[in-house]
Amino acid sequence: MIYYKDETITIRSMHHNDPHIIYHEYVEQGWHPAIEIYENYYKEQERGKRGIFIAEYNHNVAGYTTLVYEATTGPFAHRGIPEIVDFNVFVKYQRKGIGSRILDIAEEAAYEISNTISISVGLHSGYGEAQRIYIKRGYIPDGTGVWYRDRQLEQYGNCCNDDELLLYLSKTLYR
């Protein structure tokens, strides 16, 4: 399914070969992904459990995000609130408006479920661009503080500034 198309950017659902393309794009960036994650995304899309939004830039896969139709972790779990999970634009395609377009489409899909959407973001500097994008788009912290390894971190609690140290944000959606 095609959700959006202009001269350079297309946002579409995931195709069966996309997990391999995503995997190779990450390897090219020096990351070490598990291809099973992306294969599972495709299976969940086909079963109607998750929305997958693939961005193409000039017909090349440039990024993606997934929309879990009901958050299962964090402060929004099991409250009927969709959650954006795993939002990425590959480095060579950044600063071309692709990320904003992906989020526009994911937010439109979320609005069909709820007038609120949630997202979590890592706190280390590797997530700096994502943090800035979310705040600029109107996402605000939910007030539960920092979460670590799927649990709310108590004051003075021990943690590591890794990919599992998260801040949850939400946004009210309007038409």
- Decide if pLDDT at 161 tops 90: yes
Architecture of domain 2-172: 3-Layer(aba) Sandwich (3.40)
Query: Alpha-carbon distance 166 to 49, whole Å?
Result: 23
CA distances from 165 to 10, 69, 74, 127 (A): 32, 23, 12, 11
Q: What is the pLDDT of residues 57-103, one digit of tens each?
A: 999 999 999 999 999 999 999 999 999 999 999 999 999 999 999 99
Q: What is the pLDDT of residues 52-65, one digit of tens each?
A: 999 999 999 999 99
Residue 3, H or E segment: strand 2-5
- The answer to whether the CB of 81 falls within 8 A of the CB of 116 is yes
pTM metric for this prediction: 0.94
Q: What is the pLDDT of residues 123-142, one digit of tens each?
A: 999 999 999 999 999 999 99
- The answer to whether the CB of 121 falls within 8 A of the CB of 134 is yes
In the chain, where the domains are located: 2-172
Q: Roughly what angle, to the nearest 10 degrees, separates helices 18-28 and 35-46?
A: 150
